[in-house]
Structure 1
Amino acid sequence: MENKQFNRYANKVEAHLGKPSCEFTKADILQVVEDLDIRMLNLMYPGGDGRLKTLNFMLQTPDYLETILTCGERVDGSSLFSFIQASSSDLYVMPRFSTAFIDPFEETPTLCMLCSFFNRDGEPLESAPEYTLRKAMEAFTKVTGMEFHAMGELEYYVIRPDEHVFPAVDQRGYHESAPFSKGNDFRTRCMKLIAECGGKIKYGHSEVGNFFENDLCYEQNEVEFLPVAANECADQLLLAKWIIRNLGYLEDLDITFAPKITVGKAGSGMHIHMRMMKDGKNMMLNGGQLSDEARRMIAGMMELAPSITAFGNKNPTSYFRLVPHQEAPTNVCWGMSNRSVLVRVPLGWTSGKDMCHKANPIEPQTDRDYTGKQTVEMRSPDGSADIYQLLSGLCVACRHGFEMENALEEAERTFADGDIHDPKNAERYATLAQLPDSCAASADCLERQRAVFEQYDVFSPAMIDGIIAQLRAFNDRTLRQDVIGDNKAVAALVKEYFHCG
């Protein structure tokens, strides 16, 4: 039933061709350009700062278009990535036809595609973010025999002039409706555009954070996606951030995915849900309970959690969010439906009860199995993350759990069945590792554990060196302690990293 489609596609290219994007060919792209009178082609790709970059082509002749689709184009890699030297900086970008979408913001009919990077020898660039994720997924399947799927929760703040009507309650915006939530209609417009560009959205809602400052209204929102292959998840999150920012700009709204906005208010995370699939079946449960495979997956994340912050928490303000009592993790532990832990096992429809019948008594009872919805959620990452590096790191960690001899014992040791911040639990959780408190500390953790990430040639040594250098350049080892109580200093940091990722 999951694979069935309505008799329409949200993605306009899929709708025109009448086929899913995974089946797009070069001939399909040529046909779309002809049929829809496409005048411009955009090749898009992530840079080292995690943002989407764009190369525009005016389509002059069919031969020119065919050449672009077949050969790609040259770009300056040293201007995109810090680990590439100017003396050998030429790279190729090659469009991936499955990512084609119609640009929702251009007046000129424009087709866009995401790209992969290749080196001068025509081989995939080892340190390219997208290729690193592909290598991580291949290694995961080789070791486990399963596929690695993921989905993201994209949190962001919408900032607008305060209208002084129907004010929201401070830090009580969770799932609020209009008129108390002013950003709902903007969010639904974003969701429509994301879906039209190929994003597989689960739902959207207003989030906890809302407050008023300097006559401005700050409202936190979230768009959550459906689980797909991890590389598709990365593409969708990257595009979603680009769309939300562009629509905000057109509507005179400021948008930020920053992990910290101001002192004492909810920061924005980018939680990642994961599952393992084999022959179309979710392997996260066994007999309605978390499977040993899932526990191994979690154990790997517990062991490598300090290093994962190097991919998912990329600027100093990330570590102002990872503090107690902000619905963000600080300890390396996991639990069931517990939002104070690092890895949460959310409700997974495992009760076997027919809730639909209980809510709607005239509906006949069924015994449908919903356990395929089960995931586990990593809660430390935020919007500063390099999405491809982050998912690569998580994929490596989950694979590592299957290579740990003591994985099930480690999963048991790090399980938290109560509030880790409750004083009565202090002794029990005193042995838990802590997440890093700075970019510099994350770099140290990555350096200690880099061999695991470099195994199977997933992360190239050049990429790991570049990440470590980038993090240490912030020189923030004692920053969180240095600015305690200094709201002006915190505000200056927030401003500096306001448009991260």
Structure 2
Amino acid sequence: MKNSEILMNPNSLVRFLKKSPSEFTKEDIIHFCEENEIEMINLRYVAEDGKLKTLNFIISSKDHLNTILADGERVDGSNMFSFIDAGSSDLYVIPPRYRTAFVNPFVETPTLEILCSFYDNEGKPPLESAPGYVLSKADEEFTRQTGATFKTLGELEYYVISQKEDLYPPGLDQRGYHASEPFAKFEDLRVEAMRLIAQAGGKIKYAHSEVGCFTNGDKYYEQHEIEFLPTPVEEAAEQLIIAKWIVRMLGFRYGVDISFAPKITVGKAGSGLHFHMLAEKDGKNLMVENGVLSPPMARKMIAGILDAGDAVTAFGNSIPTSYLRLVPPHQEAPTNICWGDRNRSVVVRVPLGWIGDQNMTRDANPDDGSVDEVRPSKQTFEYRVADGSADIYLTVASLIVSALHGINMPNALESAESLYVDASIFKPENKEKLDQLRQLPASCWESAEVLAQKRAIFEENEIFPAGMIDSRIATLKAFDDKGMSEKLYGKNDEIGELVESYIHVA
């Protein structure tokens, strides 16, 4: 890690240890705790509900700290995962991921946080059905088959819900996109969240206010988004998990509600959790070839994700209100299984990626010769279906598996070509053609049915355990929400009650 990168890194451990988080060791963590008078350490981990769990430790000695970091602790797995029986439920939580260490910014007592992995009751590494391990297996299989690194980034959307105030009213309903303070009331919360996420190791691209902005009675609703930079998939998932915790903690401190729920009320923009993807080898972005989206790699990956994308909803859209966002009127959320350039109503979107005219910066800064430097391609493609109810580990794992499925599909390029659409497809005169496209599931029940049909894609190479697929299908069907959208149509009070019951999902 270059000295300039260390000096500018917001993570205090990086600056103190003068090394990249990927190089952190147990001895490094102990040294940091000694020199910075750290009094507590928290082991953190994510269970089936997607929320961060905590074990608190007061450090009593160097030997005690060493034991915590080396051995972890045991927990009751039956209260973590529905598929673990209470009769034999002990699990270990072990902190091998020292790269995730960061100082807790919310407590007066100097405290260090570390994410952990689950191991089974025989100490076998790791717990086969742990979502983090499933993601690790998918990541390794992608690299084994392609020789490339799968990278992803998340777009974390959320609402701030507060009491309505009359000072600087926000203006037009659903027109909050990139609004600035004072018309965006919670820009300060978002900026503080960015700062704290970066200190915790998150690599942020940017953040802004989003479309959703409205009042309802005495409540004010304001939508925001924090977007990350592409990183290896396990790091990307960890960043999102920590970011959600930090944003919620700030909301708690500010006295406002934070919601990542897919639907917040009737007729208003919902919140998605979009994932951008790329494959990289030897520092080269494989999504681009000769200045255009790569036919042999990117298009095959897209074809696979479209083929399995309706089943991916089983991991990325896990509650009934997810499907209130995925039906018209949908405020840009997708409903038809297709892909396109820059189109926000498709399952997979290819955003602008600086693969066109390279002269923009030079034109804007004609006297600055440094703008002529060659930069790596930023081109990605984006899966736009998932939302805040997603199991982040399993959703990313399912996207990797689906991309591999596409790479191995004999007819992948033909499939990608047949499912490509431009913006005109959504015009009324093209309704017949639009109706020929497959639809995303309209309920948890339908999502479970599709997963059951396509489970072999996810179970291939033993990445998703069969028992996990069985459990996911049973969990989704237990909502008994088949035909829910039709049953609730026009019943705004009932929809409101349903939305409120899932306001703090995942």
Instruction: Decide: shared fold, TM above 0.5.
Output: yes
Deviations 1:117-155 (A, max 9, x none): 111222211100110000000111112221110000000
Cα shift at 1:185? 0.8
The TM-score with structure 1 as length reference comes to 0.98
Cα distance in 1, alignment partners of residues 343 and 195 from structure 2: 31
Partner of 1:295: 299
Deviations 1:15-57 (A, max 9, x none): 2111111000010010011011111110000010010100001
1:287–1:190: structure 2 CA closer, same or farther, 3 Å change rule? same
Cα distance in 2, alignment partners of residues 281 and 102 from structure 1: 34
1:413-432 equivalences under 5 Å are 413-432=418-437
Cα distance in 2, alignment partners of residues 8 and 228 from structure 1: 19
1:290-329 equivalences under 5 Å are 290-291=293-294, 292-324=296-328, 325-329=330-334
CA contact (8 A) 2:209 2:224 kept: yes
Deviations 1:58-108 (A, max 9, x none): 111111111111111101111000011111211111112111000111111
Partner of 1:11: 11
1:224-303 equivalences under 5 Å are 224-291=227-294, 292-303=296-307
Cα shift at 1:429? 2.6
Structure 2 residue runs without a partner (length 5+):
none
Aligned length: 501
Give the CA RMSD over aligned residues.
Answer: 1.5
Cα distance in 2, alignment partners of residues 83 and 4 from structure 1: 47
SS in 1 for 2:440: coil
SS in 1 for 2:222: strand
1:209 aligns with 2:212: yes
CA contact (8 A) 1:352 1:369 kept: no
Cα distance in 2, alignment partners of residues 361 and 3 from structure 1: 31
Cα distance in 2, alignment partners of residues 320 and 106 from structure 1: 38
Identify the match of residue 168 of structure 2 among 153, 166, 169: 166
CA contact (8 A) 2:44 2:53 kept: yes
1:24-423 equivalences under 5 Å are 24-95=24-95, 96-123=97-124, 124-168=126-170, 169-291=172-294, 292-324=296-328, 325-364=330-369, 367-370=372-375, 372-423=377-428
Which residue identity does 1:102 align to in structure 2? Answer: V
CA contact (8 A) 1:146 1:278 kept: yes
Cα distance in 2, alignment partners of residues 236 and 2 from structure 1: 22
CA contact (8 A) 1:352 1:367 kept: no
**Percent of counterpart pairs with the same letter?**
53
1:366–1:259: structure 2 CA closer, same or farther, 3 Å change rule? same
The TM-score with structure 2 as length reference comes to 0.97
Which residue identity does 2:400 align to in structure 1? Answer: C
CA contact (8 A) 2:353 2:379 kept: yes
User: Where in structure 1 do 4 or more consecutive aligned residues deviate above 6 Å?
Assistant: 1-4
CA contact (8 A) 2:89 2:121 kept: no
1:202–1:121: structure 2 CA closer, same or farther, 3 Å change rule? same
CA contact (8 A) 1:350 1:371 kept: no
CA contact (8 A) 2:6 2:19 kept: no
Cα distance in 2, alignment partners of residues 285 and 438 from structure 1: 36
SS in 1 for 2:109: coil
Structure 1 residue runs without a partner (length 5+):
none
1:166–1:2: structure 2 CA closer, same or farther, 3 Å change rule? farther
Cα shift at 1:428? 2.5
Partner of 2:484: 479
Which residue identity does 1:262 align to in structure 2? Answer: T
